[in-house]
Amino acid sequence: MRYNYSTRPCSCGSGRTHYPLHDGHGIFLTYACESCEKEKLSKFRPDILEQYECDEPLDGDFY
């Protein structure tokens, strides 16, 4: 059975389709829709979407 998240309504209750949000490195953050994207992103670092500097290697095992 195939699970397609793109057709699921967002958990915020807006009824809009949600989609995955990623940071500047393409790392998954959370799901959000057009209604709550800014609100959910505000809980992360303000520069999360930028290619921020990081001392830790980010090309490790994520999966």
Q: Which residues contact Zn ion by CB under 5 A?
A: 10, 12, 14, 33, 35-36
**Nearer residue to Zn ion within complex by CB, 30 or 48:** 30
What span, in angstroms and rounded, lies between the C-alpha atoms of 29 and 62? 13
Q: How far is the CB of 58 from Zn ion (least distance, A)?
A: 27
Q: How far is the CB of 2 from Zn ion (least distance, A)?
A: 23
**Nearer residue to Zn ion within complex by CB, 12 or 29:** 12
**18, 8, 25: which is closest to 40 by C-alpha?**
18
The β-bridge partners of 17 are 9
Q: How far is the CB of 39 from Zn ion (least distance, A)?
A: 8
Cite the beta strand spans of the chain per DSSP E: 19-22, 28-32
